[in-house]
Each structure stands twice: as C-alpha cells, then as structure tokens.
Amino acid sequence: MKHIDFEFNGKTYALSFTAEALFTIYDKFGYTSDILGTTHVLEPTLEGWKNCCWLAALMASQGELQRRHRGESPQQMLTLEELRTGFMAADSVLLRQAVRDALEQGFHRDIPKPDEDEEVNLVLLEREEAEKKARAAALRASISWLRRLFGSTSAPKKP
C-alpha cells in the first residue's frame, strides 16, 4: 500500500493518505478540491501548523492501521500532541513536506499517458493496413463507376 516514510524522534512512521483520511478531512473542513489551501498546512501560521500536525497524525494512524492489517508488529500510534510539541521550528518544514508528499501520493493514479508507447500487435496492425487498402481500392472503383454512369446519362457535350 502506498505511504510516505517519515522519521520522528528516532522512529519511522508511515503517512498514508487513504479514503478514510480523505473523508475525515471533508468532515472536518468541508468538501474541497484544494485540501492544502483549505487546511492552510503550508502557511507559516499557528493554524497552519496545528492543521499540519493533525493531518500528519491522521495519516500516521492510517499508515499504522495498514501495517497492522499486513500482519506487522504494532507500534504506538503517533499523536497530535507529540507532533505539535516535538518539533524545532527549523524542522517543521520536514513535516509539512511529508504531509504534502503523502497527499500527492494518495491522489496519484497510475494512468498511462496518451503519448506513452503502447504495446503494438503487429498482426492486427497488418490487418488494419490491408483493410484500409481494400477500402481505398473499393472507393476508387465506386468513383470510377459513378463517373461512367454520369457520363452516360448526361447530354453530350457540344463543341
């Protein structure tokens, strides 16, 4: 499962932006297409810092629940208060970046881009080219037939 590893106080925590986390955010902040803007987590304000810590604690709990579901040994859940009081000012940017990365990864879908090379079925490609040639030949024959028909039904040209 997707997550961002984040180190805090000597332990590594998995920040996982799950559907549960998304709907918890919607319940707290309202439906929004701009979670970072609505929560102000990247802004250098007390409100932004509190919300950043809240999001990190939420995603850390989701990551821990995923670890437990996979059968890994349980770790203590990271709390909001630990995050709010455990960072030096200069290190706060690390948590903000981890939250941003986890949100980005949670919304990421592996959809092939239109310009990416796709696997080519050579037999199918050859068949399609043959059909195009056959249609073009049939179209030329139809046009020729229509010209002859039109020429035979129209009045003769006067000199």
Amino acid at 33: S
Provide the whole-model pTM: 0.66
Measured CA to CA, the distance from residue 34 to residue 21 in angstroms comes to 15
Q: Are 38 and 32 in contact (CB under 8 A)?
A: yes
pLDDT of residue 154: 63
Asked whether residue 130 carries a pLDDT value surpassing 80, the answer given is yes
Residue 82 pLDDT: 92
How far apart are the C-alpha atoms of 52 and 119, rounded to whole Å? 43
In angstroms, what CA-CA distances link 111 with 33, 60, 102, 114?
20, 27, 19, 9
pLDDT reported for residue 135 = 86
- List of residues 6+ apart from 105 with CB closer than 8 A: 2, 3, 4, 17
* Among 71, 138, 86, 97, residue whose Cα is nearest residue 6: 97
Axis-axis angle for helices 19-29, 46-69 (nearest 10): 150
For 109-125, what is each residue's pLDDT tens digit? 766 666 666 677 777 77
